[in-house]
Chains A and B, each alone.
Chain A
């Protein structure tokens, strides 16, 4: 039994902020990846290499589909603006 048995602990949060922009798909993917998987420093080298390779593949898939979601959401926003008669604003969003 560990000496921590029965103790209640608080974890450590990280704070990430941006200035005059939102997070990029790459930045969000990084956070997402750390929730999906972690690679132990003590893992055997072969397993560690394989895990890192999988992590990198997962990262590119996440970034791609996040960008797809952003594009799709902009289409939705553009149409909402067009429906509201805001043609110029809709065009601005479409060109982002």
Chain B
């Protein structure tokens, strides 16, 4: 399998309606971003984080990095959530995509419920350098998670 574009996981859509995800800054849930090579086989039916085909290398630990939430807001009729950019420092890694998942879904602990699968479009490599995920502009047209 391979990455085939960005998509929301179906379970996330259901869990949003069940009020299981809180993206509020500081007081919300803890979301993480894990990196994968192009053998990863995610589909909309993916419900949990997996270590299968996760990248490994200097500066990267299994499970990925913790994201910093930006409190969701609205513009017009669209609501959106955002995260601060995430950097894996002094890293030697190659990744083709990523998975964002919630480690405290429903206020629980050690959960791994998926949110969104991200396709980088091509392999991205850092060598003894920084590997930074730059989140899109937080607006109604570009934000990482938007409900129109």
| Chain A residues engaging chain B, CB cutoff 8 angstroms | 1-2, 4-23, 31, 34-35, 38
Contact = CB atoms under 8 A, between A and B. Distances in A.
B130 A17 contact: yes
B55 interface: no
A22 B129 contact: yes
B109 interface: no
Contacts of A35: 137-138
B132 A17 contact: yes
A14 B134 contact: yes
Given A18-B130, A19-B129, A8 B16 contact: yes
Nearest to A32: B85
Contacts of B131: 15, 17
**B-side interface mostly:** strand
Nearest to A20: B128
Interface in B104-145: 116-118, 120, 124-139, 142-145
Contacts of A11: 6, 135-136, 142-146
Nearest to A30: B134
Nearest to A23: B130
A5 B148 CA distance: 5
A31 B6 contact: no
A1 to B, nearest CB: 7
A20 B6 contact: no
B98 interface: yes
B136 A15 contact: no
Most buried by A among B95, B120, B136, B142: B136
A11 B125 CA distance: 21
